[in-house]
A and B are shown apart, each in its own frame.
Chain A
């Protein structure tokens, strides 16, 4: 089928306004938050309901046409890039169908923005725990696809731990439900399998998210250090006490200075080598004892100062600096590449040293702002992607950083997904049979591999899976 004929069919299904054909319109969808990659979709379709998603997907299935589901496009791994493929944008599906305050469950459409959901459930004294830094823009559907995290995952877990059920439009247009909003079904954990499948298993049309009661009390501290490794040692010491902070975030000097020079200035000391932002929450009783323990851990690890936010405004300001750090870093250079490796917590000091050495060797400026409590590093480099030499050095450095993290027993992505960007590292992380098993699982959902083709698992790994290799 020609593109024009397909567009005509799609217009008939969901209305002409929601099928984007002109280059200027499609260009808005030619990138996500991963710099250096552009891919122009052949068409962009914006269905407005579950039924319209199904009709669009069935039409594409009938003609064997691949598609890429897309939320807000805030992904950092190139997962929503669509090269000459149809993009199914889900931003019109923004309804919050219900909030069940008694059972702590909300039923939402996939295009609901994370922060909008937070605001909607707040009057009930509830919150949705995953809070990616992009939460002002990213959608619940995208969070499900990527198994998104955020600073507060240290205590509360990632998206996987907070989704009760999903209704999924499979790549053949069939609607199925995985999980349950009202009970704990037995059988295979297909809901768990679907979360983090990066759009390769179908499109979530409905999501039932679990909510948590807002903690009755919270304390936020900022400790500043004259060496990164001191801050990393403080992290280990805090974790070893048995306290599970709600968040434990670290920023290095380059990040601190970028934040302080921006409109997001949070009052971080610009002469510090690193700051550690720690938060504890829960019952009021015993919380100050936890704060004292954390303060002691920081001071014993060499903290120059430990500040405890005394007002909600002060607390919000400390967090704003962290949440907007990537935005602040984006001012330094035209492009910013952010990695997402995870290492065992005890390896943080060694890996941070290794990253600094790799950056120096390649002449690139690596900044670190990351979820220290989880060992989830976000080394990021500001650069000019149009400068071929600089781009090459950045990519070489990133590749070495990833290898250092894998060598330390870590993984290549903690919350951003594999997408396109990390496809090349999958072979270093998984054996051939492991990748082949993933391909085999994908083909159960999508035998023609039409949903988000070419992402997550390298094509070469998708060998015939019919028993052992001879």
Chain B
């Protein structure tokens, strides 16, 4: 199968035929419009090597996150990644899109968890990078290069991931506030609390409501470790207000994929400016009369993620897209758009237009056939 895939890509290279890579279909609505013959790699599935004692796992790219969760869970281990995606999302696409979630503040982003990979370049060459061990500096780090490249430098066919042992205890607590004005006051004590949460996520009222909480600003704190450690941290949380334990599986709702007709953006800035970033995004949504924006933030990472139902009247609410796509983030912050209407994308600056990025694409996909246009790269 791998040889067939390599042949198909080599042929596409020879005939200059654009290919649209497809795994579980989770991120097909993300990024710029991208046409091409479908290249389905979802059948390339299954675990290749899993030795629990090594806390590493090698799988074909089409293996789903839910399958990995099942296999590692049987050994009380996990891949500590919780991106917004359906359980049928594949590990290959997760790596290609570098998608993560609240756990990244503690366990690292995708780039920190992928140890090695194999991919097929835009010329049909099978290339291996990294390895299956937890430390490896042999050769240039093509693993990092392909992680988050959205398949534009090669079709990922196999990955090796670093696993963790599941915490002995893993509990989630919710602390809900009344309104936005108490944000600073609510969050200020966090810095001095003797807690080291696995995840610390702030949800706005519409998002909290969509998860079945009171429609109020809500702080989720996920605590893990041995019983003594979790109990001590739980007691410390009392300083933040009324604390409610919630079932772990309610967090899964937070991982639900964003509806395809939503505008989705990730805004990052310095963690010390988190509340400013949060306020700015909230005020932006108000100012544009955007209905029920779902906003969440990874506080320690300075990340605010917003998912907004597409305005009914389209651009009437939005005004000029050129200004809209930029001004959702406060000055100095960075916005990465995931989902936008097709006509808005030309207003989003391309982040791979620099000389080195362009050169890398020419080196690894000289005919420019892999997910052409997805990152807005110049042709």
Contact = CB atoms under 8 A, between A and B. Distances in A.
A325 B298 CA distance: 42
A239 B137 CA distance: 23
Nearest to B165: A242
Given A103-B272, A187-B351, A242-B167, A161 B108 contact: yes
Contact of A192 (B13, B52, B108, B145): B145
Given A346-B54, A433-B126, A411 B138 contact: yes
Interface stretch (A34-42, A46-54, A145-153): A145-153
A192 B121 contact: no
Among B144, B164, B355: residue with most chain A CB under 10 A:
B144
B354 A344 contact: no
B262 interface: no
Given A184-B334, A418-B138, A431-B126, A282 B51 contact: no
A183 B334 contact: yes
Given A187-B352, A434-B128, A180 B147 contact: no
Interface stretch (A89-97, A361-369, A391-399, A460-468): A460-468
Given A182-B269, A183-B268, A289-B226, A414 B136 contact: yes
A244 B375 contact: no
B264 interface: no
Contact of B334 (A160, A180, A456): A180
Interface stretch (A62-70, A194-202, A262-270): A194-202
B315 to A, nearest CB: 24
A371 to B, nearest CB: 8
A107 to B, nearest CB: 13
B134 interface: yes
Contacts of B233: 283, 285
A182 B270 contact: yes
A438 B127 CA distance: 9
B136 A413 contact: yes
A284 B225 CA distance: 12
Interface string A371-414: 10011100000000000000000000000000000000111111
A188 B76 CA distance: 34
Interface string B27-66: 0000000000000000000000001111110000000000
Please classify the interface of chain A as helix (H, G, I), strand (E, B), loop, or mixed, using the class held by over half of its residues.
loop
B210 interface: no
Given A183-B333, A186-B336, A342 B140 contact: no
Contact of A435 (B139, B301, B360, B364): B139
A102 B272 contact: yes
Nearest to A162: B112
Contacts of B229: 282-283, 285-287, 289
Contact of A344 (B54, B360, B362): B54
Interface in B355-376: 355-357, 359-360, 362-364, 366, 375
Interface residues of A, number: 90
A285 B336 CA distance: 39
A192 B165 contact: no
A99 interface: no
A210 B149 CA distance: 23
From A186, A200, A284, residue with most partner B Cβ within 10 Å: A186
Interface in B74-115: 76, 98, 108, 111-112
B54 A345 contact: yes
B228 interface: yes
A433 B139 CA distance: 13
B302 to A, nearest CB: 7
Interface string A416-455: 1110001000100111011111101111110000000000
Contacts of A242: 76, 164-168
A258 interface: no
Nearest to A436: B125
B331 to A, nearest CB: 11
Given A149-B135, A195-B141, A411-B136, 12 more contacts: A183-B268, A184-B303, A186-B336, A187-B354, A188-B148, A236-B53, A242-B165, A283-B233, A431-B128, A434-B128, A435-B139, A456-B140
Interface of B: 10, 13, 51-56, 76, 98, 108, 111-112, 121, 123-129, 131-142, 144-145, 147-149, 153, 164-168, 194-196, 225-233, 266, 268-272, 301-303, 332-334, 336, 351-352, 354-357, 359-360, 362-364, 366, 375
Interface of A: 100, 102-104, 146-147, 149, 153, 157-158, 160-161, 170, 174, 176, 180, 182-190, 192-193, 195-197, 200-201, 216, 236, 239-244, 282-287, 289-290, 342-346, 371, 374-376, 409-418, 422, 426, 429-431, 433-438, 440-445, 456-457, 465-468
8 contacts: A188-B153, A196-B140, A241-B165, A289-B226, A344-B54, A375-B54, A441-B364, A445-B356
Which 5 A-B pairs have CB atoms at the shortest separation, nearest pair first?
A: A286-B229, A192-B144, A242-B165, A285-B232, A187-B351
